[in-house]
Amino acid sequence: MSIRTVLVPLSGSDSCQSGLEAAARTAKAFDAHLIALHVKLDPAAAVPFIADGLTADIVQELVSSAESEGHRRAEKARAIFESVCENFDIPMGLADSGPSAEWMERQGPLGDTVGRMARIADLTVVPKPDANSDPLSAGMLDDVLTRSGRAVLVAPGTLPDRIAENILIAWDGSAEAARAVADAMPFIDISNSVTILTIGDIREERPDGKTLAQSLAAHAVTADVKASERKGPVGEQILGCAEDMGATLIIMGAYSHSRWRELVLGGVTRTVIDKAQLAVLMSH
């Protein structure tokens, strides 16, 4: 399967620039259709207040202020989108060949709306979460992972020219890791090098790194296998290996500690996302 549609949510904050540029690079690499999604929050729902404690005039003033802020963010997001498309020479509208782009607006809760719309895209690209610079979208990654059922590419602040230059697969034989590899095959197919990293012992009932390499060989992909002993936090070891090999993309499963909670990314996943200075492609 190739990547034909790329979704990128744009909040209107400065942090959405990196996500959009990563999405544009991906659209160019695969001649895909880029969909920029801006979610408008319901002004009334966006205003925290206790109705009994405020007058109708104050409530209306707060709602109007939230509505104005929403328009400002939408205009800023649209301007960033048009600028990036122009810089990457991506035309608006559906094209018969080559990459193309469109602007889309929806209204509703941010994470829920993006997560649902991501179900119709081959890949969703989000910027690295930053609660300080963009609190509205800080939890968006978790929502997309848990709600969409599709792959997510997390973009760092600084991007290499080719995201798929050198790929590191963090492999533990789990269903999540297997799904991430399958979703990432378009990137793997165009990469220059692929390394499969296993840390510690893989459960006996799970396929190991050599087995994965044999599977990739059936797709004409040659992958090196690196088996490392566990020496501390696994997330730190993954990032250390990625740095040593000059990786431009990490592929890994996204794990959660509890299926009963809306969002609890596991320690390894959270460490990689918080500290990675390169792109990370994940599936849950």
Q: Using one digit for the tens of pLDDT, what is the confidence trace for 153-168? A: 999 888 888 899 999 9
First to last CA, the chain: 18
Q: What is the pLDDT of residues 41-50, one digit of tens each?
A: 766 665 555 5
SS3 state of residue 5: strand
Q: What is the pLDDT of residues 59-115, one digit of tens each?
A: 666 666 667 777 788 899 999 999 999 999 999 988 778 999 999 999 888 888 999
- CATH of 166-283, picked from 3.40.50.620, 3.40.640.10, 3.40.228.10, 3.30.930.10, is 3.40.50.620
Residue 155 near residue 22 (C-beta atoms within 8 A) = yes
Judge whether residue 248 has pLDDT over 90: yes
Return the H-helix or E-strand segment holding 242: helix 234-244
Q: Which of 66-75, 188-197, 247-256 has maximum average pLDDT?
A: 188-197
Residue 141 near residue 273 (C-beta atoms within 8 A) = yes
Domain locations in the chain as residue ranges? 5-155, 166-283
Residue 193 near residue 166 (C-beta atoms within 8 A) = yes
Name which residue leads in pLDDT, 200 or 47.
Answer: 200
Residue 102 near residue 36 (C-beta atoms within 8 A) = yes
Of 25-39, 125-139, 198-212, 257-271, least confident by mean pLDDT is: 257-271
Judge whether residue 145 has pLDDT over 90: no
**5-155 shares its CATH topology with 166-283:** yes
Judge whether residue 259 has pLDDT over 50: no
- CATH of 5-155, picked from 3.40.50.620, 3.50.50.60, 3.40.50.2300, 3.30.420.10, is 3.40.50.620
DSSP-derived secondary structure letter, 107: E
What is the spatial distance between Cα 34 and Cα 86, in angstroms, rounded to a whole number? 13
Average pLDDT over residues 142-163: 88
> 205 - beta bridge partners?
none
pLDDT score for 260: 34
Return the H-helix or E-strand segment holding 67: helix 56-87
Tokens, residue 158:
């600084």
SS3 state of residue 117: helix
pLDDT score for 263: 40
**Confidence bin at 40 (pLDDT 50/70/90):** confident
The answer to whether the pTM exceeds 0.85 is: yes
Average pLDDT over residues 234-255: 93
Tokens, residue 231:
């020496």
Tokens, residue 110:
């941010």
pLDDT score for 108: 86
